[in-house]
Each structure stands twice: as structure tokens, then as C-alpha cells.
Amino acid sequence: MPETFLDQLIYMFFLVLKIVAIVVPLILTVAYYTYMERKVIGYMQIRRGPNRIGPLGLAQPFADVFKLLLKEIVLPENANKFLFLLAPILSLAPAFAAWAVIPFDDWAILANIDAGVLYILAMSSLGVYGLIIAGWASNSKYAFLGALRSTAQMVSYELAMGFALVGVLILAGSMNLSEIVMAQKGGVFDWFWLPLLPLFGIYVISGLAETNRAPFDVAEGESEIVAGFHVEYAGSGFALFFLAEYANMILISALTALFFTGGWLSPFEGVPFLGDTILAEGSIFWFLAKTVVFMFIFLWVRATFPRYRYDQIMRLGWKVFIPITIVWVMVAAVISVFGLIVRGS
Amino acid sequence: MPIYEIVFYLFSLVMLTGAVMVITVRNPVYAALSLVLTFFSAAAIWMLLEAEFLAIVLVVVYVGAVMVLFLFVVMMLDINVAPLKEGFIRYLPAGVLVALLMAAELLVVLWSKGRFEAGAYPIQAPNPEGFSNTKAVGEVLFNNYLLAFEVAGVILLVAIIAAVALTLRQRSGGHRQNPSLQVRVRPDERVRLVKMKPEPRQGS
């Protein structure tokens, strides 16, 4: 803790600088993630995707952003004005705040706290409020139904996700995200995806459900309830929800990379020949590459699978995922107690 | 030092405002949201006491789960305020009695043993670096109070089973789906393919 008031001010200035260094690239990533989504899905459906604005359509995200920001903000007549305007902010703030504890590399982390995993869980559970308030404040049946569906779904799948993380915590012996990554040191087969394979799968699938993405996107099933909780939002309000959803998708991808595939550690560690070169060094590029792979899986799944029915979603979450995770937590405990894998070797 | 105090008073102010709003606001949804705000500020103040595990668990459990379900219920109720206000005078004596009783209980606690005098709780020395709150809670819970912890778990389990048993009704005539049967359906059980010769079109 710095001593004088001036010291504290300088400390806070650098803190703000670091926050900007995380948030600005994050927003740009969201912008190009939407571009990537449209291109990837386009090619999977044998068409070209956006290609008119800028070379290869690369300026398309900015055109979209300016369109959304310059549009009129429509306030529904019978909406609860205060909560209606508060909801997008409540859904965006936790999506960004969670990034505070993400370690991008050994040295690149904003807040290296011991309860990092708990903090992530807390922030992701706060995101529900944005949706439920938006649905209620809009004073519209479709919006309310969408909000109920998505909150029930998020609360259910948070349990499966939490249990999947318990397995990781048992093997890593820590809730600090950097220490979880360092516990996986030693090469591809020391990463936690192998001993925790069922939990890894469940975490990725619950991640899809948690962010209300296809095939779990009944919350905004166009064919049933128009667009779900954000039907009544236009312009920048809608843009904020959009930003929050994509920031959450990137967050889940980054967390999967940290928990199950060794974060910034290199996959070439301990491999003959390549293991002695610079490729075996852990670096931020490995972390970003793994994150992009999981981000791609989000899009791939969306282009491939049809939408789930709502009761099937609930059944999958409660009756399939949660029992499997509980069993595998026991398995992880056995692995840990009998020392079948060695942390950080 | 001032930033610590600024943060403390800021969150205390927000928390007290939220707590007052819970009982004064007309709209039940606003009241529930004020309660969320109160919990959240309380968590922030616990964080200042270096009790980060408790603080975050408060947010995860109460803010993230309990209050969401509360909001569900409150939002779907169509509460008409007017009938609730009827009989205010009639119930006033009972209300005053309960309020006086609670105030008396509070005063007894506050006055006894000088428990809340200044200096009764000195400011704790900050925890040493590398001190893990979570580990400390876990060690106390699973070493010193294991039995109490397990008993609490069993009581909660009983409560869950009781809640399910009380609300579960076997209704007759309802349609039920058996997912494993649905999955095991084979096309030849549902569709019969018939081979037949083409017939001339009739009536032309």
C-alpha cells in the first residue's frame, strides 16, 4: 500500500492506465469477433459473408458500430424508464469487470488475487441482473419471457460450471488463476484437459449455455419470442447488450484456455527438438491462440447444431451434467489424494 | 490512508441507503433490487476487512442466486397495494408491540458487557502476505467444526427433500415424455415403406 496521498493518486493513475490497456483491445476484439462470426458462418454455409466495406469487408464492424450509435434510442411508452436504461449497463459492467483477474501471461495480470476463481463466478452471476431487469422494465411479454428463459438457464448451468471448476481447483490446489496455470506446467499431457476430460467437455458446453449462444439460444429464439429480453432496445442500448454478450463469450474462451489447456504455457514444452527452441517458452501469444481456438468453436457450434428445445436444455443441465460433474469431482479428489499427477512438473 | 476511509464511508452510505429503501420503496421490484444493492455494499465492506472469501461468497450466493429467484417471484406477482394497506389501524397495536420488543432486545445486547464501546474491537493488523483467507476458513471448518458442518449439510438436505416432497403432485391425465424412449426410436417403427406399382391417374 503506497503511503502518501500523491503516491496513491499516481498508483490509481497507473491502475486506470492498465484497465484501459485491457478494455480497449477487448472492445476491438469484440468488433472483429462479430466480423469473424459472419465470415466463418458465411463460409460454412457456402457464401462469402461481409465483403463490401473496406478490403475483404474489414471495415464492416465499424460501419455496424456507427450505425448502432447514431440510431435513435426508443423508449417504450410503458417501460420503467430508470431500470430500462440501467439494464444494459448492468449487463456490460460485470462482463468487463471479470477481466481484472485474467492472467494473460506470467507478468500480465491486473489483480493477482487469491480468490480469483470465486471472483469470476461472482461476476458471471451478476450478469444475470442485466437480463432480468431488461426483461421486466421493457413491460413487454416477449421480453419478459425471454428474460425468464435466459435467467433460469444461466442459473442452472452456473451450477454445472461451478462443479466443473471444483475439479480444476482440487487438482490445482489453489483458486489463484496464475497458480492454476502453473500447476499445469510440463507439456500438453500435463494440462488439466486430460485428467478432467468430462469436466472439460461440460465446461465448454455450459459456456455455450451460460452465454445464451446457439444451440442454447432459446432466450432469443426468433421463431418464438422475437429477440428475447432485448426486443425493445434499439441503437446504443442494443449495442451494449451485444458488446456484453460477445465479451462474455471471449471471457469463457479465455477461462477454458486457462483452466483446461494451460493458459500461456506452450504446447511444445518437453517435446524433443522443438522443446529446446523459443517455441517452448510460455508467452501471451499461446494464451491468445488458445482463446481464439475456443472462440472459433463457439461459431462452429452455432453453424452446425439446430436449436435445443427448452425442456431438453433444462434436462441436460440438471439431470445429465450435474451428476457427471459430481462423480468426476470425486475422481479428481482420488487423483489428488493418491498423487497420481504431480502439480507443476 | 484517506482512500481506505473514503471507500468505507462510500459503501456504508450506499448500504444504509439501500437498507432504508428496502422498506420504504412502494414498488416491490425496487425493494428487491435495493436489497441486492445492500448485499453488494456489505460484500465490499467485508472486502475492506480482508475477508475476501466471505465477501465473494455473499455475492455468489445471495446476490447471484437467492435474489434472482426472489426477483422472479416478485416480478410475476401482480401486487395490488391498496388491499395491503387496509386495516392499518387495526394491526397497529400488534405492530408497535413487536417493534418495542425488538428494540428492547437490541438495547439489552448493546448495553451488556460494554460490548460495543469504542476500543472493544481494535483494528486488526493486516494479514501477512501470502495469507489465504479461503484456506483459513477451510481449515477451521473441516478440522475444528467438522461435525457441525456435516450436520448443517444434512439439515439442508432434509429441507431440500421436504420441499420437493411437499410440492410434487402426481397428476393424472398429464402427458409425460420419456427422453430415453424418444432417443431409442427407430425409423422402421414409425414409418412403413410400401412398394407398389404405379397406377394410372384416375378421373382424367
Q: Is residue B106 assigned to a domain?
A: no
B11 confidence band (pLDDT: 50, 70, 90) = very high
CB distance B64–A122 less than 8 Å?
yes
Instruction: Determine the residue type at A19.
Output: I
Rounded to a whole number of angstroms, the distance from the CA of B56 to the nearest CA of chain A is 6
- Residues A263, A282: Cα–Cα separation, whole Å: 9
Rounded to a whole number of angstroms, the distance from the CA of B166 to the nearest CA of chain A is 20
Q: How many domains does chain B have?
A: 1
Question: Are the beta carbons of A106 and A177 closer than 8 angstroms?
Answer: no
- Residues B38, B67: Cα–Cα separation, whole Å: 11
Q: Where are the alpha helices (DSSP H) in chain A?
A: 5-44, 60-70, 81-97, 116-137, 141-172, 177-182, 197-210, 222-225, 235-260, 284-304, 310-315, 322-337
Q: Which of B75, B78, B139, B182 to mutate to test the interface with A (most CBs of A within 10 A)?
A: B75
Rounded to a whole number of angstroms, the distance from the CA of A26 to the nearest CA of chain B is 25
pLDDT of A205 reads: 92
- Residues B24, B40: Cα–Cα separation, whole Å: 19
pLDDT of B17 reads: 94
Q: Which domain holds residue B150?
A: 128-165
Per-residue pLDDT in tens (0 to 9) along chain A, 345 residues: 446 778 878 888 888 999 998 899 999 999 999 999 999 999 999 998 888 888 888 888 899 888 888 888 888 887 788 888 888 898 899 989 999 899 988 877 888 888 888 889 888 888 888 888 888 888 888 888 888 888 888 888 888 888 999 999 888 888 888 888 888 887 788 888 888 899 999 999 999 888 888 788 877 766 677 777 787 888 888 888 888 989 999 999 999 999 998 888 888 777 777 666 777 777 888 889 999 999 999 999 988 888 888 888 888 888 899 999 999 999 999 988 887 777 766
**Residues sharing a CB contact under 8 Å with residue B134, sequence separation 6 or more, in sequence order:** A114, A115, A118, A175, B53
Q: Is residue B136 assigned to a domain?
A: yes
Q: Is residue B150 assigned to a domain?
A: yes
| Binding-site residues on chain A for chain B (CB distance < 8 A) | 5, 8, 12, 83, 113-115, 118-119, 121-122, 125-126, 128-129, 132-133, 136, 144, 148, 151, 155, 158, 175, 311-312, 315
- Residues A159, A316: Cα–Cα separation, whole Å: 12
- Residues B10, B12: Cα–Cα separation, whole Å: 6
- A288-343 confidence digits (pLDDT tens): 999 999 999 999 998 888 888 888 888 888 889 999 999 999 999 998 888 777 77
CB distance B71–A132 less than 8 Å?
yes
Q: Is residue B176 assigned to a domain?
A: no
Over range B113-122, report the average pLDDT: 66
CB distance B56–A175 less than 8 Å?
no
**ipTM for this prediction:** 0.80
- Residues B62, B52: Cα–Cα separation, whole Å: 15
CB distance B68–A132 less than 8 Å?
yes
- A111-123 confidence digits (pLDDT tens): 888 888 888 988 8
